[in-house]
Amino acid sequence: MKSFWLLIFFVLGSFSLSAACISGDCTNGFGTYSWKDGGLYSGFWKNGEKHYFGMQFWGDGDFWYGLYKDGSRKPGFGTYVWDDGTFENRTTKVTYEEKGCVSGNCEDGWGVYIFNNGDLHAGYWKSGKQHFFGAKFWASGDYYLGLYKNGSRKPNSHGYYVFDGGKSKSYLGPIRYNDSGCLVGDCNNGFGTYVWSNGDVHTGYWKNGKAHLIAFKFWNDKDTFIGFYKNGKRQKRGIYIYETGEVEYRTDKVTFSSTESIESVKKKQINTDRDGEYK
pLDDT of residue 37: 87
Cβ-contact 129, 206 below 8 angstroms = no
- Mean per-residue pLDDT of the chain: 89
pTM, two decimals, is 0.88
Question: pLDDT, tens digit, for every residue of 203-260?
Answer: 999 999 999 999 999 999 899 999 999 999 999 999 999 999 999 999 999 988 655 6
Cβ-contact 147, 201 below 8 angstroms = yes
What's the CA gap between 146 and 124, in Å, rounded? 11
Question: pLDDT, tens digit, for every residue of 29-49?
Answer: 999 999 988 899 999 999 999
pLDDT of residue 263: 56
pLDDT of residue 206: 97
What's the CA gap between 60 and 122, in Å, rounded? 27
